[in-house]
Structure 1
Amino acid sequence: MEQTHHSFCRVCINQCSILVKTENGVATAVHGNSSNELYRGYTCVKGRSQPDYLRHSDRLMHTLARTADGHHPMPVETALDQIADQLADIRDRHGPRAIASYAGTMAHITTAPTAAPLHDALFDAIGSDMRFDPNTIDKGGKQVAASLLGSWGAPSQGFASPEAILLIGINPVVTCTGLPAGAPKRWLLDTLAAGCKLIVIDPRRTEVARLADHHLQVAPGHDVAILAAMIRTVIEDDLFDHDFVHRHVRGLPELRAALSAFDPDQVARRAGIAATDLAAAARCYAGAPRGYTMAGTGPNMAGDGTLVEYLVLVLETLCGRWLRAGETVAATPTLLPPTSYVAQASSFEGKWALPGRIRVRGLRRTKAGMPTAALTDEILTPGEGQVRALISWGGNPAVAFPDQQRTIEALKSLDLFVQIDPWYSASAQFADYVIAPTMPLEVPSTTVFLDYLAARGTGYGIGQAYGQYTPAVAERPPGSDLIEEWQFFLGLMRRMGYPVEVTPFGTGPQGPRYTITGQPTTDQLIEILSQDASIPLAEVKSHPGGLSRSDRLQRVDEGDPEVTDRLDIGNPLMIDQLSEHLDVSTTKDRSDRPFRLLCRRYLHVYNSSCNVERTNRGKPYNPAYMNPHDLAALDISERDLVRITSDRSAIAAVVHADAQLRPGVVSIAFGYGPATRDDDVWAVGSSPSRLVSVSDVFDRYTGQPRMTNIPVSIERITSEPQRHQQ
């Protein structure tokens, strides 16, 4: 029997409201929900392709265990028995720190309401803080920078009626960050039509750059200097919010002195743009009464993400881009517990670091989490505290982690490696156990992740109060032996003898704690974890297509006049680091490595996920894009194979022309490629992470290595490659 069900997509952070058609329990089609006022029918090819994922011939239907002659199916309950025994043995012999986890990009997107609380409960019980995630190889500088600046007790102006938007190294119509969850391009077009100005800083003329009032197509490596020069212009032209700065900010004299070295004319010349364009962009942004700035992976992956994000916050603070007393918080939480907002600053006095140290490069745990780029060294470095067991879920470390060769060496050396994965991925190949999980349409969930994103910082999540619940709308494949991620973690806790106490997702360690007894269903677990939600779960369920609301919104309260905390725009750590950028560029020109490797994103994949026939449409690889003038100078033609060489390693790639790129750069997507160097790049793509060194250049706070703006050389391998036949 054919049916149509309301649901929402859990393939990326946009979490689109969708309609799922099923026939006898099998999903046959996914469409956007045009009646949902937030999404207005929007979906992408990844979300619409979900029926293909569920019944794809490569999907794992049973857990695999490694034996002497390879991986073989094993009942998941048997695997849980064995894994629990091995974890207990490693804990007893080597201590809790020897057990680590990696929660990849898909871990929280697909299973946030249920699996994350159980994962945290397991590692709390074990006593290990060795918990890693993609944040510190993506944009971890945001959280550290906020700690160095201090906190405003209310959200930024953000998506609430902006009159100027500044986007740095980000393409929101592809990434679904930097614009509010919903129909991103339509929202942007509507906002621009209402008079909002758009300023984009990017070496590539992206989809959003083509809509910009000001596009600074800068050479890579100049983000810090460009921001410093813009801030200097705002101060010298007296465009900052004097009242807000006087009442709530400190450090202006120190900042002004540090910026004196960043002459806008010199910065613009070295970045390859006109000084008049730089000044006009700064004045356009600061001259608007309301607005927001969002920096993406481009500047964050360049080695100084924390400093970049601190300067973003300095610009926001000088312009007074924070909600004030009496203003409404448009994105008031729906499924998170209520919170209070107050118009005052809180100084963290440098508390950017948290308990938990790494044994290499002087790194430690920060507000951004554990430095993921150091995990391989934690596995490979002998001594007390060496990581010997890893549970990876929702990610693909063998492809996603920087310095791929060392990552694979580390994965192979583990005493126990568990990979939870619906596919036999590059990482799964090295696992002792590959746990086959359910996929999103097969399980219930809520959009609490959207509330969490909105609270995380400017440029994330929803722009209005919204929530949705979905039941399971597709049946699991017949004969399969699948497990939900939360059941996996709960099963380990039960077998290891731990009581199960959980904190709802997004509430942090100070959130309410609930004891889980027995074996609840997924819906029962969601009910338990949602009982303190701002809007009752039952009310959200009563709107199966999604609940958008403009009532029961919270307002920002007046600050306490006795509080003297200030936002610090002259933090000594950041001022000292800024002085190191007086040469403007983060990497020097090199004759042996004349090109700069830049990261990019695609709409049809989500990092290493969703790359199937229907989404890639016959192009499963990740092209290396170059400006046509560079290709001509190197006598390279479209679809030639080239060798891209960094100081760390080399990869083969298929080259494509992109006239929207600045000359001198090569742009390629991460999340592709094989675990070894011998596979056909036409079939699986190239591994840019292999070119990345984790120790040469890295953010001193988050440990994030330079993963973009990497000096490379390019040479042709052959002008007539033999294309892999699918």
Structure 2
Amino acid sequence: MDEIAAKLADIRDRHGPRSIASYAGTMAHITTAPTAAPLHNALFDALGSEMRFDPNTIDKGGKQVAQSLLGYWAAPPQGFDAPEAVLLIGINPMVTCTGFPAGSPKKWLLDTLAGGCKLIVVDPRRTDVALHADWYLQAAPGHDIAILAAMLRIVIDEGLFDQDFVARHVRGLPELTAAVHRFDPEDVARRAGIAGADLVSAARCYAGAKRGYTMAGTGPNMAGEGTLVEYLVLVLETLCGRWLRAGETVSASPTLLPSYVPVAQAKSPDADWALQGRVRVRGLRKTRAGMPTATLPEEILTPGEGQVRALISWGGNPAVAFPDQRQTVEALESLELFVQIDPWYSASARLADYVIAPTMPLEAPSTTVFLDALAARGTGYGIGQAYAQYSPAVVERPEGSDLLEEWRFFYGLMKRLGYPVEVTPFGCPSSPRRPIDGVRTTEELIEILSQDSAIPLSEIKSHPDGITRTSRLLEVQPGDPDVLDRLDIGNGLMLAQLAGHAGVVELSQPDRPYRLLCRRHLHVYNSSCNIDRTHRGVPYNPAYLHPDDMTELGLSDGTLIRISSDLSEITAVAMKDPALRTGLVSMAFGYGPTDHDEEVWAVGSSPSRLVSISEKFDRFTGQPRMTNIPVSIERADAHAARDHPTVL
């Protein structure tokens, strides 16, 4: 820490605070959010750097920007609370652990369906959750926007929307009606390769339910226009009135976050969906979703004022998680200072100047405040209940180990740089800063950061197995009748973008006849946890194809193939998956080496190497097209088939 702090100070003094950046990966939020995130934010606040990146804008960043463009309802959505219909688009909650309540997603689904709820799934692959669907629309990739627009047309034309809610709280219905009129349901269904009657029936079922929710996953969000997808999802939710009303109870009331007063009232869209903080490339800027992460390698490699020269990465593995892997590796190698906090000697750790070994989650005390924060994020997240738990360390750290909790690392840097250590609790950006100079233990830090929790930490600690509340829940209060704010379902930016989709179908390229789709595996979490104990002998990253495509290409399970995009190519292991449509190849991201394809059997293949950051990207979040990518496939070696198990 002495050396790192000295180098940070030197870079800051020579090039300014903007030259220092951070990347907080998925595991940074999942495992250390209660303690490390406040210290990380305090350090970068003290430095004066806005260059803070995270996975949101290469995952589903359109959700926050779309909310900003629609406006806000001052009470939560209906969400997981007794839905009568659920619409899932390009998401498999059995594996993603979002889209259904955190905990036991399959049990929740079966119990909910047994209660009469109807399930509608739109996905090019017949996933685990699609097997339980009442309506399964196995649409070709790239048609999610058109399908949503067609559903909106059906809901409007047949008067299936909540007309009282729309009249009281919504604006833009005429503009929306004109925009979606171009999307004839039969024509949209034909282009997407699904039955028109199924599309119409699914829309009627969803809109006819009194309660429900829609969730779009990484499939549609990674296709290059995630903000528009998420805006149309919110428009559908708003037309159907999927927001809690006055007198209703907030089932997922906060426990470890501060309490608040939910109100049945609209708040008009933000005047500006973007925030202060521009990046230097492609005209992009910081938004409600955060800094556009795909631009970080460019910020490192682009000379000039503000060039990023130092990076602290924690909880993630940018060398394999970021799009355009070759450019990412080049950028990481060019840094003056690269610090990687990582429990594994990952691909990113191999490129770093310093690798800090942190404790693992069970080796330190923590709380479930992240679940509260997830519930507050929006539809499809959190546990769906008012729940909290404090857990002390469960296991001792290995004897003789030299491990450091992440918060202590950031705390140590602040002390060495001479900054006062003042923090804002996780999930509470408007809370006053709290000095923590003199804090010696994680338990002390958690106590300070939990002072304003809705339920006192002492009460939560008195329930070692966790506390689930069915009383003392928030109740939605009536809105102010004099407030004239409205939710905007006719946003000009979004409808102009939608107009470009009417009747437009991206044709297959003769030299790139297949489409690469993203997927997830249950034994890894994005780029983390791919270890022997979890992958159980299958460390590689299969490239799944329909059996008919395998036959046409002369492939069998275990054959090595070359997958090529316009940007690059990779070697992968072919495997059959009859759940896919033909013409598709499906792989997980976050795998693979940074250069040596001969390691494909040991560490997997890296689809991110095939992803261009500038060929097609979301104009709001900067998220590149990371799925539905045109590719070609050929055998890499006719004699390379190996007898390896198929990943299920």
- TM-score, normalising length from structure 2? 0.98
2:464 alignment counterpart? 544
Matched, 1:402 2:337: no
Matched, 1:196 2:117: yes
1:351 alignment counterpart? 272
The residue correspondences of 1:494-573 to structure 2 (distance < 5 A) are 494-508=415-429, 510-573=430-493
Quick one: which of 183, 206, 231 aligns to 2:127?
206
In structure 2, the CA distance between the partners of 1:678 and 1:724, relative to structure 1 (3 Å rule), is: farther
1:579 alignment counterpart? 499
Quick one: which of 641, 649, 652 aligns to 2:560?
641
* 1:683 maps to amino acid: A
For residues 418-453 of structure 1, what are the alpha-carbon distances to aligned partners after superposition, in whole Å with 9 as ceiling and x for unaligned? 000111100011100001111111100000000000
Deviation at 1:588, TM superposition (A): 2.5
Matched, 1:594 2:504: no
| 2:313 counterpart SS class | strand
Matched, 1:688 2:578: no
Distance 1:270 1:724 in 2: 39
Quick one: which of 417, 421, 440 aligns to 2:342?
421
The residue correspondences of 1:329-368 to structure 2 (distance < 5 A) are 329-368=250-289
Quick one: which of 535, 540, 554 aligns to 1:616?
535
8 Å CA contact retained: 1:152, 1:344: yes
For residues 349-394 of structure 1, what are the alpha-carbon distances to aligned partners after superposition, in whole Å with 9 as ceiling and x for unaligned? 4421000001001000000000000000000000000000000000
Distance 2:249 2:644 in 1: 57
Matched, 1:140 2:61: yes
Question: Pairwise CA RMSD of aligned residues?
Answer: 1.1
8 Å CA contact retained: 1:222, 1:584: no
Q: Which runs of 5+ in 1 are unaligned?
A: 1-79
1:317 alignment counterpart? 238
For residues 189-217 of structure 1, what are the alpha-carbon distances to aligned partners after superposition, in whole Å with 9 as ceiling and x for unaligned? 00000000000000000010010000000
8 Å CA contact retained: 1:682, 1:723: no
Distance 1:291 1:512 in 2: 37
The residue correspondences of 1:330-479 to structure 2 (distance < 5 A) are 330-479=251-400
Deviation at 1:722, TM superposition (A): 6.0
For residues 123-142 of structure 1, what are the alpha-carbon distances to aligned partners after superposition, in whole Å with 9 as ceiling and x for unaligned? 00000000000000000000
8 Å CA contact retained: 2:558, 2:641: no
1:47 alignment counterpart? none
* 2:420 maps to amino acid: P
Distance 1:216 1:238 in 2: 23
The residue correspondences of 1:4-43 to structure 2 (distance < 5 A) are none
* 2:10 maps to amino acid: D
Distance 2:127 2:353 in 1: 42
Quick one: which of 474, 483, 486 aligns to 2:407?
486
Distance 1:692 1:350 in 2: 33
Distance 1:185 1:352 in 2: 36
In structure 2, the CA distance between the partners of 1:102 and 1:650, relative to structure 1 (3 Å rule), is: same
8 Å CA contact retained: 1:258, 1:579: yes
| 2:483 counterpart SS class | coil
| 2:223 counterpart SS class | helix
Distance 1:513 1:639 in 2: 56
Distance 2:532 2:351 in 1: 25
1:21 alignment counterpart? none
Q: Which runs of 5+ in 2 are unaligned?
A: none
Distance 2:83 2:183 in 1: 28
Deviation at 1:718, TM superposition (A): 2.0
Q: Which region of structure 1 is more displaced relative to structure 2, 343-352 or 245-254?
A: 343-352
Distance 2:583 2:269 in 1: 42
Quick one: which of 143, 148, 164 aligns to 2:85?
164
1:150 alignment counterpart? 71
8 Å CA contact retained: 1:651, 1:677: no
1:328 alignment counterpart? 249
Deviation at 1:517, TM superposition (A): 1.3
8 Å CA contact retained: 1:270, 1:584: no
Matched, 1:265 2:186: yes
Percent identity of the aligned residues?
Answer: 74
Deviation at 1:490, TM superposition (A): 0.3
For residues 633-654 of structure 1, what are the alpha-carbon distances to aligned partners after superposition, in whole Å with 9 as ceiling and x for unaligned? 1111221111000001000000
Deviation at 1:519, TM superposition (A): 3.6
